[in-house]
């Protein structure tokens, strides 16, 4: 009997050790998110069931059907009968139906995507307990909208994330750098940036480039903290080589901005490619990606948080960009 007793003792010790370890490293808190699939309802309408289905949408989807009608279908000037005709024409159009069928294939299972967002919004609730949690609604909008907010909720146009090589983006004439952005893996980063803008865009400190750099840096710091298990390049929506380039050339990028006297410029045309999607950052080497200021801001914000004892919510409310730069002690070196 001794071997059996020894085995049971070892098993009990292992179990107790595992329980002890888990008590120190608890499972990440997940938020309970409601995810609605509006596109599935929309593309199952027919002449026979349209009125019945559309009458139930407010109950199922809250205020989103009104947003869809007014913002996507531009129905404000239409009668109800005309709007119904527009919905049928939209969902029965050959090209739209083909594009929708592609979303069915790519987004048949949203469980992984839901898991990522539940963890992200669990983090959000921990850091911002007084802020609301959104409902998530997926939809098909004819390639007009990617990720948007409405009434403290989030809507995702799935047809805008079919993958770099989707033929639809080629038909639409999207340049390569924009097609790259239309990958399924970038949805979580887009969602969290849109959610950041929904609540903290009003704390943008000014129109000058430095204010933009800090604001974009806050956004990336926020995304980094919310999406813990996603690679840095996917958070930034860069390629791996673009991510490596900005990391290796951080000091040179900063030197360029300072030397060209751009930090306090309010001429957006001069720095648009630094904060928006672009083939490359204007004035820098071709390897420098558009939105390069996101990384500089991210590093500046990290430096600030290392040198100042505040939490992430307090960070969001800071608006004095010059004071922020000084207190961050940001001075990248080669």
How confident is the model over 102-140, as pLDDT tens digits?
999 999 999 999 999 999 999 999 999 999 999 999 999
Mean pLDDT of 81-91: 96
Instruction: Give the mean pLDDT of the chain.
Output: 92
Per-residue pLDDT reduced to its tens digit, 255-291: 999 999 999 999 999 999 999 999 999 999 999 999 9
* pLDDT confidence bin for 80, thresholds 50/70/90: very high
Q: Dig out the tokens for 87 from the structure.
A: 């919905």
Per-residue pLDDT, 27:
52
Q: Are 301 and 223 in contact (CB under 8 A)?
A: no
pLDDT band with cut points at 50, 70 and 90 for residue 298: very high
Q: Given this model, what pLDDT does residue 21 score?
A: 39
Q: What is the pLDDT of residues 107-116, one digit of tens each?
A: 999 999 999 9
Segment 143-189, tens digit of pLDDT: 989 999 999 999 999 999 999 999 999 999 999 999 999 999 999 99
| CA distances in angstroms from 37 to 40, 60, 68, 134, 283, listed in the order given | 6, 10, 13, 15, 44
Query: For residue 96, which of 143, 64, 132 has the smallest C-alpha distance?
Result: 143
Residues 6+ apart with CB under 8 A from 258: none
pLDDT (tens digit per residue) in 13-52: 444 444 443 344 445 689 999 999 999 999 999 999 999 9
Listed in sequence order, the DSSP H helices in the chain are 2-24, 38-42, 50-61, 64-67, 80-92, 94-106, 111-127, 167-171, 176-180, 187-200, 209-226, 232-236, 240-248, 250-259, 268-275, 292-307, 312-316, 321-328
SS3 state of residue 249: coil
In the prediction, which pLDDT does 28 show?
A: 63
pLDDT in tens, 177-223: 999 999 999 999 999 999 999 999 999 999 999 999 999 999 999 99
pLDDT of residue 180: 97
CA distance 306 to 303: 5
Note the pLDDT of residue 29.
84
Residue 301, C-beta contacts closer than 8 angstroms, at least 6 positions apart: 214, 217, 218, 220, 221, 315, 328
> What pLDDT does residue 334 have?
76
């Amino acid at each position: 009997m001794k071997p059996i007793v020894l085995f049971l003792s070892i098993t009990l010790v292992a179990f107790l050790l595992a329980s002890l370890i888990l008590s120190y490293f608890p499972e990440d808190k997940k938020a309970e998110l409601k995810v609605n699939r509006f596109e599935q309802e929309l593309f199952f309408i027919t002449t026979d069931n349209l009125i019945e289905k559309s009458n139930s949408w407010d109950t199922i989807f809250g205020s989103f059907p009104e947003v869809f009608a007014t913002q996507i279908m531009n129905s404000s000037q239409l009668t109800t009968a005309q709007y119904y005709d527009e919905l049928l024409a939209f969902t029965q159009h050959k090209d739209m139906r083909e594009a929708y069928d592609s979303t069915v294939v790519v987004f048949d299972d949203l469980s992984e995507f839901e898991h990522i967002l539940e963890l992200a919004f669990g983090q959000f609730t921990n850091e911002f307990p007084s802020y609301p949690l959104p409902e998530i609604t997926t939809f098909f909008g004819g390639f007009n909208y990617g990720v948007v907010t409405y009434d403290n909720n989030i809507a995702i146009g799935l047809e805008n994330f079919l993958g770099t090589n989707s033929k639809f983006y080629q038909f639409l004439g999207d340049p390569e750098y924009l097609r790259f952005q239309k990958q399924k893996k970038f949805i979580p980063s887009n969602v969290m940036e849109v959610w950041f803008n929904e609540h903290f865009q009003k704390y943008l400190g000014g129109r000058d480039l430095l204010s933009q750099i800090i604001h974009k840096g806050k956004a990336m710091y926020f995304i980094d903290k919310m999406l813990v298990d996603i690679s840095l390049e996917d958070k930034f929506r860069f390629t791996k080589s673009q991510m490596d380039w900005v990391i290796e050339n951080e000091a040179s990028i900063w030197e360029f901005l300072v030397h060209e006297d751009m930090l306090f410029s309010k001429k957006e045309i001069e720095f648009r490619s630094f904060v928006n999607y672009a083939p490359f950052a204007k004035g820098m080497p071709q390897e420098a990606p558009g939105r390069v200021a996101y990384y500089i801001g991210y590093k500046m914000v990290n430096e600030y948080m290392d040198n100042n004892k505040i939490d992430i919510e307090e960070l969001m409310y800071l608006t004095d960009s010059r004071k922020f730069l000084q207190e961050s002690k940001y001075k990248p070196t080669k």
